[in-house]
Structure 1
Amino acid sequence: MRRRRHETTKRGRTDDRAVTDMIAFILVFATIIGSVALLSTVGFQTMADYQDGEKLRNAERAMESLAVNFNAVMRHDGIDRRYGELALRDGSVSTGSGGTNVTILLNGNSSNVSANPIELGAFTYEAGSDTIAYEGGGVVRAGETGSAVVKRPQLMCHPEAETAVISLTAINATDRSIRSTDGLGFTMTERDRETQFEDGVTNVSIRMNTSYVRAWEMSFERSGWETTKSTSSDLLATCEDDPDNPVNSVAITVVEADVEY
């Protein structure tokens, strides 16, 4: 009888260990499966976010490079055409009329540039909810949280040098949009150029209606202008007369250009 009781106790302990090992295996297996599922979900989303961010950063750099190339048409009378490329990477490029509306005022009166007010047109790269736009010679980025300047246009206020310089490119292009995974070539061609020089000017202002108010506001402030907003889309930038450093001289250049692709 003693032997029989001893054998029963031994079998019971063996069964307990088997059950414990099985439960441990199930728990470890469940933990591994859960971890893999969690890492897959979070990891893939993180990778997708990184790829989207990298795609936009590459588009910013490409658009900035394109702007430098295009702006040679605006800066030099002897250059009337420039070519550049942009990798779309599943994004879309759109061109068209309209866009930011600009009015240049000298001593409170409209300047003599015949295109005044000026429509800067549209040349944008879009990916998801983000937009990178060539605006007047500069580059801006806009998204759900607002807009920011990537490259400033040539709008300088220099009271200490008694000068203000306003150089703008207005895109004249057919309303068109294209989406692709490949690169795309663009050609900017000068259609018209107007230049105006004025002396004895004490106040220069630029009034604009734009979808990129914050970006333009940042650009003006970094270039020496004082800005005020009247609405969420209206902005006024002023290069004011300083008693010690009057503005005096103003140079205005507006180039109207076609963009083909």
Structure 2
Amino acid sequence: MDQRPGSGRLDDRGLSEVLGFALVFALVVSTVILVALIGFGSLEETRDAEELNNAERAFDVLADNMADIYEEGAPSRATEISLQSAQLQVGDPIMMNVSAINASGGTEVNQFPIDPIVFESGDSKVLYAGGATFRTQGDNGVMVAGPPLVNASENLLLPIVQTRHRGDVTSTSGQTVRVRAVNRQRRSVPGFNEDPTSHQKIILNITSPRAGLWKSYLTEQQQLSCVTPREDNVRCTVDDPESVFLTRTLIIYEFET
């Protein structure tokens, strides 16, 4: 049968329209998927940033509650921390040593192991250790709030905040957790509370993954001279102090879920 004039052109036009629609549809779908992926990534970044900011505010409250214990003698305090996708855990222990050297060369040493409280989201952390609050990301970090160290030309006051963990829960996530802290013991350390003092040198030694942040803070204090013998260690000395007062508050904490 003879083909009607122009029917071939109509078929070509129809095919072109179908192909054009398919290409436009594919472009629209690709654009929607790309925007969705970018938007989802941005949404995740925004959520993570907000979660860290909320954690930092919660740790401000935690630090205030701890201060109620070691400064005011409160028997206990509880702090609620919302985790969502993050994790709250007991950090690797750090060690604080305070040594005194007297005129005859004798040395008194006091060791204080400390269990940090750590909020972790990805490679970012907010943590409380030794009375100080830190925020870190990867290898970088900052001390958000310093420890209760008083170091003036007249005297040296070292209040050691020793947090130790008790309980079965050492790590938890995906819910609101209550950090319950109990004042187990608050005392002056014998031999370190003298005015005037017989000690010729006081040495504060801190072993911690955040030794560099500790050093940055401690070198800003009067009289303290600090070095880092190792990457995870800072050693500060005070020569010929007029008076020395060393206190230790033992705070036992646990995670309640």
Task: Verify same fold: TM over 0.5.
Answer: yes
Deviates more, 1:202-211 or 1:87-96: 87-96
Cα offset for 1:256?
0.9
- Partner SS, residue 73 of structure 1: helix
Instruction: Judge conservation of contact 2:130–2:160 (CA < 8 Å) in 1.
Output: yes
CA contact (8 A) 2:100 2:107 kept: yes
Amino acid corresponding to residue 80 of structure 1 in structure 2: P
Q: Which residue pairs with 2:249 in the alignment?
A: 255
**How big is the shift at 1:110?**
4.9
Distance 1:63 1:48 in 2: 22
**Residue 39 of structure 2 corresponds to residue 59 of structure 1:** no
Matches within 5 A, 1:182-197: 182-195=175-188, 196-197=192-193
What does residue 230 of structure 2 align with?
A: 231
Structure 1 residue 173 corresponds to structure 2 residue 180: no
Please give the alpha-carbon distance, in whole angstroms, between the structure 2 residues aligned to 1:32 and 1:240.
73
Amino acid at match of 2:48: D
- Would you say the 8 A contact 2:134–2:142 is kept in 1? yes
CA distance in 2, matches of 1:238, 1:38: 58
Residue number in structure 2 paired with 1:31: 27
The alpha-carbon deviation at position 33 of structure 1 amounts to 2.4
Deviation of 1:151 (Å): 1.6
In structure 1, stretches of 5+ residues that fail to align are: 1-7, 242-246
How many residue pairs were aligned?
242
* Alignment partners' CA distance in 2, 1:30 and 1:172: 59
Gaps of 5+ in 2: none
| Separation (CA, whole Å) in 1 of partners of 2:31 and 2:219 | 50
In structure 2, distance between residues paired with 1:240 and 1:11: 104
Q: Which residue in the other structure is 2:42 paired with? A: 46
Q: Which amino acid is 1:237 matched to?
A: C
Match of 1:212 among 189, 203, 210: 210
Q: Offset at 1:48?
A: 0.7
Shift of 1:59: 0.9
**Residue equivalent to 1:90:** 85
Equivalent position amino acid for 2:139 in 1: T
Higher helix share: 1
Residue 79 of structure 2 aligns with an amino acid whose one-letter code is: G
**Shift of the alpha carbon at 1:14?**
8.0
Give the CA deviation at 1:37: 1.8
CA contact (8 A) 1:147 1:213 kept: no
Any idea what SS the aligned residue of 1:154 has? coil
* CA distance in structure 1 between the aligned counterparts of 2:215 and 2:72, rounded to whole angstroms: 27
Q: Give the alignment's TM-score, normalised by structure 2.
A: 0.78
How far has the Cα of 1:249 moved from its partner?
A: 2.1
Matched, 1:118 2:112: yes
- Any idea what the Cα deviations from partners look like across 1:157-204, whole Å, max 9, x if unmatched? 323xx2222112112222632424332222211222222423345543
Q: 1:110 to 1:17 in 2, by over 3 A?
A: farther
1:98-113 paired onto structure 2 within 5 Å: 99-107=93-101, 110-111=107-108
Residue 148 (structure 1) aligned with residue 148 (structure 2):
no
Shift of 1:239: 3.9
Query: For residues 24 and 83 of structure 2, what CA distance do their matches in structure 1 show?
Result: 46
Task: Say if 2:155 and 2:242, in contact at 8 Å, map to a contact too.
Answer: yes
Cα deviation, 1:63-98, whole Å, max 9, x if unaligned, reads 121111112111124x222222222223332337x6
1:74 aligned to 2:66?
Answer: no
Using the aligned pairs only, state the percent identity.
21
Matches of 1:39 and 1:69, distance apart in 2 = 44
